[in-house]
Amino acid sequence: MKESPVIVVGVDTSPESDTAIEWARSVAPASARIVLVHAWEVPIVTGYDVVIPLDPGEIEASAQTVLDQMLAEIADERLVAELVQGHAGRGLVRVSDDHDAAMIVVGHRGKGRMSMMLGSTANYVLHHSERPVVVIRGDHVAPPERVVVGVDDHDIDEQHDENESVRALRWAYDLPGVRQVDVAHAWFLPALAVGMYTPAVAELDQMDAAANAVVERVVEVVGPPPDGVTTTCAAVRGTPGFALIEASRDADLVVVGSRGRGGFAELLLGSTSAEVAAHSHAPVAVIR
């Protein structure tokens, strides 16, 4: 992170919002600014014969009171507040761009089992922001000492051009308080490919070796870890999403690339990052 980074946090009155603030405070250096962003909008009221007058001024004043109470209750000089009108996701992206934020932190509000059921605000930010987005999941709110980074080596050529995995690993190295970074690449043979027979041990070993080579290539491009940080490399058997979700059980943070593509696809997360963000047992950082 930058020496004096700005961390933007989406807040409301939910417990998930409180956890997001706590996590941001735990990773923010003393010189950082933590911008708490609270959105308000006039709700749409429909009915056949009922008209409920709504005063936008009262709604805005109530939202401002929420922010003022947060600042009063949390004794942290790094905190500032910003009130935005309209959709919370769009407001977070806009504020993060205005402040050139190092990251956006949002609480997880989705309740569904499908990979995209993240809640509208987190979903919007993950799909539209070009900045690192951290979705707070699970009960891990302490500074992330053990971080799992899922990598692949797509788009890395002979000139060692960086890709999202390289950026994800660098980002993990820069987090304050990190002590161990587990770099992993998962591989999986579908049942149709395996058929009725289990592949020979030698073939499994070859797949493991190829996966280890992917990890080693990414680690080589990034370079040595910072002092005090231990890096481990692992080939993991299983689909990437499942493997990282399982790894999140013992991690403080999981870091993945977004794998968005050009045109309309830039608005879409890759299946792995979406699955991990929705089901991880620890906070998830998605890096573009």
Give tens-digit pLDDT for 130-144: 999 999 987 666 789
DSSP string, the chain: --SS-EEEEE--SSHHHHHHHHHHHHH--TT-EEEEEEEE-PPP---SS------HHHHHHHHHHHHHHHHHHS--TTEEEEEEES-HHHHHHHHHHHTT-SEEEEE-----SSTT-S-HHHHHHHHH-SS-EEEE-TT--S---EEEEE---TT--TT----HHHHHHHHHHHSTT--EEEEEEEE---HHHHTTSPPPHHHHHHHHHHHHHHHHHHHHHH-SPPTT-EEEEEEEES-HHHHHHHHGGG-SEEEEE----SGGGGGS--HHHHHHHHH-SS-EEEE-
Fold match, 1-136 / 139-288 = yes
What pLDDT shows up at residue 116? 38
Provide, rounded to the nearest whole percent, the portion of the chain with pLDDT above 70: 80
In this predicted structure, the answer to whether residue 231 has a pLDDT above a threshold of 70 is yes
Average pLDDT for 187-209: 68
pLDDT category, 56, cuts 50, 70, 90? confident
pLDDT, average across residues 155-165:
72
Q: Give me the pLDDT at residue 271, please.
A: 82
Per-residue model confidence (pLDDT) at position 58: 85
Q: May I ask the CATH architecture of the domain 1-136?
A: 3-Layer(aba) Sandwich (3.40)
Note the pTM of the prediction, 2 decimals.
0.86
Any idea where the domains of the chain sit in the sequence?
A: 1-136, 139-288
CATH architecture of 139-288: 3-Layer(aba) Sandwich (3.40)
